[in-house]
Amino acid sequence: MKPGWRLGLNVAAWTVAIPILGIIGSVLGKTMFRSGEAEVIMAHAIEVVLVLWAAVIYWRCVPSTPSVLRRAIYLALFVATMLVVGYFALGAAVMVVVLLFGL
């Protein structure tokens, strides 16, 4: 598989996972853990998992280059893309959770 396709598919999987992890976190927060602190800890754990997953995507899918400047540009573009994609995925996650569980 070409690196561009691999990168695109991994970013798409990461984007789809944000609402899914949000729903799982909401369900666990409402059923298993009744305290507000547990929900906050779970939300932070999901954020850590997503950041680590994004780091693995960058490490495995973004091609390496001998130039440090080009690698820095790749990193900046990757971070900017993931921030934009993550922002819209978070909005979708909030909408899905509100539709499923109400306010």
At 2-32, the pLDDT tens digits run 878 899 999 999 999 988 888 888 778 777 7
Q: Report the predicted TM-score, pTM, of the whole model to 2 decimal places.
A: 0.81
Q: Please state the domain extents for the chain.
A: 3-101
Long-range contacts formed by 92-101: CB under 8 A, 24+ apart = 92/18, 92/19, 93/18, 93/19, 93/21, 93/22, 93/23, 94/22, 96/19, 96/22, 96/23, 97/19, 97/22, 97/23, 97/26, 100/23, 100/26, 101/26, 101/30
At 28-59, the pLDDT tens digits run 877 777 777 777 888 888 899 999 999 999 99
